[in-house]
Amino acid sequence: MMDKEVNIARAIASLDTSLFRYIESQTTDDDKYSLLAVQRAVRQKAEYVYLEIGSHLGGTLQPHLLDPRCTTIYSIDPRPLIVDDERGEKQKYFDNSTERMMRLLSAVAPDQVQKIRTIDKAAPEIDPQTIDPRADLCFIDGEHTNTAAIADFEFCIKVLAPDGAIIFHDSDLVYKGIRQLLARLRKSDTKHFPLKLGGSVFAIAFGGSPLASATYIRSISKSIHYHFLRSAVRLRLNRHKIKRKLKKRSS
Ligand SMILES: C[S@@+](CC[C@H](N)C(=O)[O-])C[C@H]1O[C@@H](n2cnc3c(N)ncnc32)[C@H](O)[C@@H]1O
For the segment 226-237, what is each residue's pLDDT rounded down to a tens digit?
A: 666 666 665 555
Atom of ligand 1 nearest to the CA of 61: 9
Instruction: Give me the CATH code for the 3-224 domain, please.
Output: 3.40.50.150
Our CA angle for 136, 142, 148, nearest 5°, is 95
For the segment 67-97, what is each residue's pLDDT rounded down to a tens digit?
A: 999 999 999 999 999 998 888 888 899 899 9
Residue 177 and residue 100: Cα distance in Å, rounded?
Answer: 31
Query: Which residue's CA lies nearest to atom 6 of ligand 1?
Result: 55
Alpha-carbon torsion, ordered 212, 205, 176, 62, to 10 deg: 100
Which among 13, 73, 75 is positioned nearest to 43, based on CA atoms?
A: 13
Residue 65 and residue 85: Cα distance in Å, rounded?
Answer: 28
Q: From the CB of 97, is ligand 1 less than 6 Å away?
A: no
Q: From the CB of 150, is ligand 1 less than 6 Å away?
A: no
Query: Which residue's CA lies nearest to atom 25 of ligand 1?
Result: 79
- If you average pLDDT over residues 106-125, what whole number do you get? 97
Which pLDDT does position 123 carry in this prediction? 98
Atom of ligand 1 nearest to the CA of 80: 25
Q: How far is the CA of 217 from the centre of ligand 1 (A)?
A: 25
Please give the full DSSP string across 141-194, using - where no structure is assigned.
-S-BSHHHHHHHHHHHHHHEEEEEEEEESSTTTSHHHHHHHHHHHHHTT--EEE
For the segment 9-19, what is each residue's pLDDT rounded down to a tens digit?
A: 999 999 999 99
Mean pLDDT (the chain, rounded): 90
Q: How far is the CA of 148 from the centre of ligand 1 (A)?
A: 11
Which among 45, 49, 40 is positioned nearest to 15, based on CA atoms?
A: 40
Q: How far is the CA of 44 from the centre of ligand 1 (A)?
A: 27
Q: From the CB of 142, is ligand 1 less than 6 Å away?
A: yes
Exposed / middle / buried, residue 15 (Cβ in 10 Å: 0-12, 13-18, 19+) = middle
Question: For the chain, what's the residue count?
Answer: 251
Q: What is the pTM of this model?
A: 0.91
Which pLDDT does position 191 carry in this prediction? 92
pLDDT of residue 222 exceeding 60: no
Q: From the CB of 27, is ligand 1 less than 6 Å away?
A: yes
Q: To test ligand 1's pocket by mutation, which of 30, 93, 104 has the most ligand atoms within 8 angstroms of CB?
A: 93
pLDDT category at 244 given cuts 50, 70, 90 is: low
Q: From the CB of 78, is ligand 1 less than 6 Å away?
A: yes
Which pLDDT does position 176 carry in this prediction? 92
For the segment 154-170, what is each residue's pLDDT rounded down to a tens digit?
A: 999 999 999 999 999 99
Whether the bond into 162 is cis, omega within 30 of 0: no
Share of the chain above pLDDT 70, in %: 86
Which pLDDT does position 235 carry in this prediction? 58
